[in-house]
Amino acid sequence: MEFTASQIASFIDGKIIGDENALITGVSPIESGETGHLSFIAQDRFTHYLDNSKCSVIIVSESLITKDSYNPTIISVKDAYLSFQILMNLYQEMQGRKEGIENGSSIHDTAIIGDKAYIGAFTYVSEKAKIGEGSQIYPQVYIGKGVKIGKNCKIDSGARIYDYCIIGDNCVIHSNTVIGGDGFGFQPTSEGFKKIPQLGNVIIEDDVEIGSNCSIDRATIGSTVIGKGTKIDNLIQIAHNVKIGKNNVIAAQAGIAGSTNIGDWNQIGGQVGIVGHIKIGNQVKIQAQSGVNSSINDKETLYGSPAINYNDYLRNYIHFRNFTEIVNRIKNLENNSKD
């Protein structure tokens, strides 16, 4: 696709500085711009590229513009990062959505497929499953018995959604993620560990995105719940009966043990481990590689393993780095006091 600077500016309510007819045929990172490409600058540390980038058009936050003219054409906007996101979403929408049922897929007679939905080749849709209008189910997906998938969802190749799980509208589930596998429930006996049946399901509310290679386990009884607007990175384990609230972000390789209840608007860093049967409040920030083993109040920021208040951790770590010196000073003081 080709666009002029003027057309691009009209999409994002931008002001042009330079040639409004500059032609765009692609996009580039600002560090490796190319002629005919579009990029953006939203931070002061990248403004030196305004004078030496090869990009033909650059979207720039208005607060960073200091001259009346530049070598590339500039589109001035309030927030360049947000404007660039808007453009990317528009471009994605222009690619169109697939519709129809491809050869090689298998759909049970009792399944319901909504209008304008797409079912890719070698996908299996089980009995009494329901797929909403406009949802995109890519090849080699498994949809279990009684599964309900809302409108305008995207389920990428290789995902597995087990029986009776429920997925809301506008959700994205990336490749090889498993929704509704058995929770890790075993009862120790004199003869070994006996499996506890996992009879619940998983409920994923609207506008959730789940990365690739995640496992979200079904509840023992009841439901494991992922709240509206939550975004989950790749390689994440969420155990049975966990309840996650609205608009959380969880980074890669985090693990959340069973029956933990997490509130709204939390930020959980990569490789964080959270024990089971605790409660985490709202607007909590947990730094990467922290281990959380007790309940957390609202608006805490934590670090370490076991995790403690972030600022306390930093102060303590300064002492830890000098621990040998501190011990030697104490020994010297003790020896001097004996003298």
Q: Annotated catalytic sites, by residue? A: 240
Q: By three-state DSSP, how is residue 280 classified?
A: strand
Please say whether the beta carbons of 244 and 264 come within 8 A.
no
Show the DSSP H helices in 133-220 as ranges: none
Q: Which residues, 6+ apart, have CB-to-CB distance to 119 below 8 Å? A: 100, 101, 102, 105, 107, 113, 125, 131, 137
- Cα 9 from chain centroid? 29
Q: Which of 282, 193, 277, 215 lies closest to 241 in space, CA to CA?
A: 277
Q: By three-state DSSP, how is residue 129 classified?
A: coil
- Geometric angle at alpha carbon 244, from 160 and 166, rounded to 5°: 40
The rounded radius of gyration (Å) of the Cα atoms in the chain is 26
Please list, residue by residue across 28-67, b when 16 or more beta carbons sit within 10 angstroms of its beta carbon and e when fewer do.
bebeebeebbbbbbbeeebeebbeebebbbbbbbeebbee
